[in-house]
Chain A
Amino acid sequence: NAGVTQTPKFQVLKTGQSMTLQCAQDMNHNSMYWYRQDPGMGLRLIYYSASEGTTDKGEVPNGYNVSRLNKREFSLRLESAAPSQTSVYFCASSEYGGYTDTQYFGPGTRLTVL
């Protein structure tokens, strides 16, 4: 079991460029999440997908789009990157998305926008 995998691990973009962060899980989980982590701010939820075919905005969705491609894969797209999007991005999954569920995290993508 690989758990939650993310690609790429590192990325440098110029302002205005676009990119897609990929996430996949092999635990047959229903719910998936995208977070960003900034120093001193903990994790902030960007988007989540409670189940295949559904997506919802989290706390900080502006400037991002997501696609739940199938049960395994949940991608995050930056259409026009801005320096404020420099961050570490984590994908996570949980079995049902319930309030007692454990979330399982990928290793993260470090994104720098110049």
Chain B
Amino acid sequence: AQSVTQLGSHVSVSEGALVLLRCNYSSSVPPYLFWYVQYPNQGLQLLLKYTSAATLVKGINGFEAEFKKSETSFHLTKPSAHMSDAAEYFCAVSERDSNYQLIWGAGTKLIIKP
């Protein structure tokens, strides 16, 4: 069965530093990949998604992610962290074997240090 692994339940970076949040999936068939963000006490909202077009996907708020088939990864990056980026980030995949339902990672809480 498909699984999604997010490395690090908490990631702490300084304001202005590079943000890197890691996501790996287990499928041998390239799935469709998503990053969602959850701000405190809110629902989730889509940051970006990969749907087999360009492997480098740009999202909202300056985030981007690169699909690397050889590494089964879809890591999320942002060149310069802002205090407003403090949130929990979820990676998710969908594929035929899961009836196209989303399989979610456990989430990574991003902490921004002033």
B44 interface contact, C-beta 8 A: yes
The distance in angstroms between the C-alpha atoms of A44 and B90, with both chains bound, is 12
Total interface residues in chain A, CB < 8 Å: 22
Q: Contact flags (1/0) for A65-109 with B, using CB distance below 8 Å? A: 000000000000000000000000010100001111011111110
B66 interface contact, C-beta 8 A: no
Interface of A is mostly: loop
Total interface residues in chain B, CB < 8 Å: 23
Taking CB as reference atom, which chain B residue is nearest A91? B43
- Chain A positions within 8 Å of B94 at CB level: 99-100
The verdict on A45 contacting B43 (CB below 8 Å), with A99-B95, A102-B49 known, is no
The verdict on A4 contacting B43 (CB below 8 Å), with A100-B49, A100-B51, A102-B49 known, is yes
Interface stretch (choices B14-22, B70-78, B79-87, B97-105): B97-105
A43 interface contact, C-beta 8 A: yes
The distance in angstroms between the C-alpha atoms of A44 and B43, with both chains bound, is 14
Flag if B95 contacts A90 (CB, 8 Å).
Answer: no
Flag if B46 contacts A102 (CB, 8 Å).
Answer: yes
The verdict on A107 contacting B100 (CB below 8 Å), with A41-B106, A42-B105 known, is no
User: Apart from A43-B104, A103-B46, A108-B43, what 18 extra A-B contacts exist at CB < 8 Å?
Assistant: A40-B106, A41-B106, A42-B4, A42-B104, A42-B106, A42-B107, A45-B101, A45-B102, A90-B43, A92-B43, A92-B44, A99-B32, A99-B100, A100-B49, A100-B94, A105-B45, A107-B42, A108-B42
